[in-house]
Amino acid sequence: MATEHKTHLYQVEVTWTGNTGLGTLDYKAYERSHEISVVGKPLIFGSSDSAFRGDRTKYNPEELLVASLSTCHMLWYLHLCAEVQLVVTSYVDHPVGKMIETDDRGGKFAEVILKPVVTVKDCKDPAIAKQLHEKAHHLCFIANSMNFPVRCEPSFEAGTQLN
């Protein structure tokens, strides 16, 4: 008998705000600015990467992809730690995404490496703190949807009894 799976829908609105009056008359005639909105939440101001004529003061899609991978992993990790009563007191990630341009001027991500630094209070079994990263990676919705490698290289702050 088939298992019934829950389905979740995520609706956003993306609005291009970069029309300088000429529309897309030519490649240099328009800005890449846009807004990402969800009802009841603050706007996210976006653009393309500055390498592609974007505004470096706004988030670009590549940064948002890397951030999505990082936050999904973090939220799963915190959830799993709470389940086993492993008390995390600090979690900071410095993920790095590597994108490669292709000959046709397109491109794709080659990999993303998550680099979380975690502080755990009174950890009795350091192996568990590390193993939960592997489980979080396995459960992460976003990482499971990617067609490129997503790796996690966690480290732990000094004084957490994990070094």
Selection from 48, 63, 66 nearest residue 113 by Cα: 66
Residue 127 pLDDT greater than 90, yes or no: no
pLDDT tens for each residue of 56-115: 999 999 999 999 999 999 999 999 999 999 999 999 999 999 999 998 878 999 999 999
What is the architecture, at CATH level 2, of domain 61-156? 2-Layer Sandwich (3.30)
- Give start-end residues of each CATH 3.30.300.20 domain in the chain: 61-156
* This prediction's pTM: 0.88
- DSSP letter string, 69-121: HHHHHHHHHHHHHHHTT-EEEEEEE--EEEEEE-TTS-EEEEEEEE-EEEEEE
Q: What percent of the chain has pLDDT over 90?
A: 72
Q: C-alpha distances in angstroms, 160 versus 7, 136, 140?
A: 39, 20, 25
DSSP state of 139: H
- Which pLDDT score, from 0 to 100, does residue 158 have? 55
